[in-house]
Amino acid sequence: MKAPISSYLDTILDEVRYQDAGSNADYIPELANKDPNSLGAAMCTTSGHIYSAGDAEVEFSIQSISKPFIYAMAVQEHGIDVVSEIVGMEPSGEAFNELSLDREGHRPVNPMINAGAIAVTQLIGGTGATVEDRIEMIRAFLSEMACRQLRVDYDLCDSELQYADRNLSLAHMLRNYDIIQDDAHDAVVSYTAQCSVMVTTRDLAFMSAVLANGGVHPLNGKRVLEPDVCRLTLAVMSSAGMYDQAGRWMAHVGIPAKSGVSGGLLGTLPGQLGFASYSPRLNEYGNSVRGVRIFKLLSKDMGLHLMAADDRAGVDAVRSIVTYQEDTVVTLQGMINFNSAESILYELSQHEISGDHVIFDMTRVSGIRRMGRFLLKEGMHLLEEKGFRISIVDPDDHVPDYRTVDGTEIHVNEQESAPFATEREDDRYHDDDCPDPDEGPQPPAWEG
Ligand code: GLN
């Protein structure tokens, strides 16, 4: 039986297959001669599960889809302050090859347009690096993201270089304003080789999933990028990745994305998945016609719009609050972030707690964020100040210490709470096993 998600991807491809609007980029034969009917899609979740459909294994040049990755690479190597000296992060709303620099620093406005990308590429490896060094570092980095050895198509690269007058003029302009130090021709060669790295739609889905997963490769668990670098890259992608279509893209699709002139389109849902499509015919903005359609369908069908609040409500952080004689058990669940910690504190403030002992059962908590932990400890501290004894069942060590922000140590009892622990394995994912909230769990045996 075909996995439902792969079948869904097949359905999406069938829905857009008939569309034949737009045309291949034709400024070089290698792009003009690509089969315009090729159509592929692939998705990789942050758990490393991959689903693909259609021509997901056909190779094409990565082109501008390399830009966010090389930006991330440069920020990781030099830090955002150095990178910000040569490129901004404002949307330009202009075409990808626009000659636009900001007024004050004469920096390209963002790294997703060619001027910005050329400036960023020459940071790779530092000023001492040769063109060959840079190209190899870029190829190796993109290979690490794709989890296979990628190659540069030098024939395609040579072909591109014969039509690179506009990019050369951008590089000369950047040199004129001291944004790049490389010889203008060298800068364009490095950038063009970067665009000539060959990938498949599956590769792009993996690469995108690394960004979605905060820089840890979902396939091998290796940290490739720092989480704040991924966040920054995705933020820039969301405002500038689709060139002069960027505003409408965020409104209608709402997935940070990057397109390339060969027809690839990559989108990233932070914390969820990486998605990519391939179809070479482009619209007037240089974005794949069927790719844009695929992303619209995906966003709508799967509720993937970043700004949609409807699917984000998640589970209630407080599963139950049950009192037995002197003991009140507060069972927490899911991810404790700011929002859920706030709801825990609110629920506690609304609850008339009788007895003198509050037990926090965190067996069902799947993770905790810094702010969530901070607020939870403050809540425990408040209860302690009101005269309650605090116990915690925390098998995954979500709260490793009990110090509050002002240095006070909460006197948390770990032993006394053990009999209240939720049964883990079997109990965890079976809702039918959940205690009826009206009945509440049975008093622990040791109470007699
Ligand atoms: N190699 C192309 C260029 O720099 C890439 C542009 C793109 O994919 N939008 O002109």
Per-residue confidence at 430, pLDDT binned at 50, 70, 90?
A: very low
Question: Rounded to an integer, what distance in angstroms lies between the CA atom of residue 443 and that of residue 258?
Answer: 56
Residue 304: pLDDT band (50, 70, 90) is confident
Instruction: Report the percent of the chain where pLDDT is more than 70.
Output: 90
Specify the residue for token string 């984000």.
312
pLDDT digits (tens, 9 = 90+) for 314-331: 668 999 999 888 899 999
Determine if ligand 1 sits within 6 Å of the CB of residue 243: no
Q: Which atom of ligand 1 is nearest to the CA of 97?
A: 10
pLDDT tens, residue by residue, 287-300: 999 999 999 998 88
Which is more confident, 313 or 152? Answer: 152
Is 305's pLDDT higher than 50? yes
Q: Is 195 in the pocket of ligand 1 (CB under 6 A)?
A: yes
The DSSP secondary structure of 372-416, one letter per residue, reads: HHHHHHHHHHHHHHTT-EEEEE-TT-SS---B-TTSPBP-EESTT
Look at residue 1 and tell me whether its pLDDT is greater than 80.
Answer: no
Pocket test for ligand 1, best of 64, 112, 196 (most atoms within 8 A of CB): 64
Query: What's the chain's average pLDDT?
Result: 88
Average confidence (pLDDT) over 158-169: 96
How far away, in angstroms, is 191 Cα from ligand 1 center?
9
Q: Which atom of ligand 1 is nearest to the CA of 261?
A: 8
Specify the ligand 1 atom closest to the Cα of 164.
Answer: 10
What is the distance in A from the centroid of ligand 1 to the CA of 87? 18
Yes or no: say if 234 and 256 are a contact pair by the CB < 8 Å rule. Answer: yes
243 in a labelled binding site: yes
Tokens 């890259």 identify what position?
233
Chain segment 108-131, per-residue pLDDT in tens: 999 999 999 999 999 999 989 999
Would you say the CB of residue 63 lies under 6 angstroms from ligand 1? yes
Three-class secondary structure of residue 195 per DSSP: helix
Q: Check residue 91 and give its pLDDT.
A: 85
- Give the distance (Å) from ligand 1 centre to CA of residue 329: 60
Angle at 185 between CA 260 and CA 100, to 5 degrees: 55
Residue 157 in contact with ligand 1 by CB distance below 6 A: no
Beta strands in 4-80 (DSSP E): 40-45, 50-54, 60-61
How are beta strands 412-413 and 389-393 bridged, if at all?
parallel
Residue 434 pLDDT: 33
Q: Is the pLDDT of residue 427 over 60?
A: no
Average pLDDT over residues 20-47: 95
The atom of ligand 1 lying closest to the CA of 64 is: 8
pLDDT in tens, 322-377: 988 889 999 999 988 888 888 898 888 888 888 899 999 999 999 998 888 988 99
**Ligand 1 contacts CB of residue 160 (under 6 A):** yes
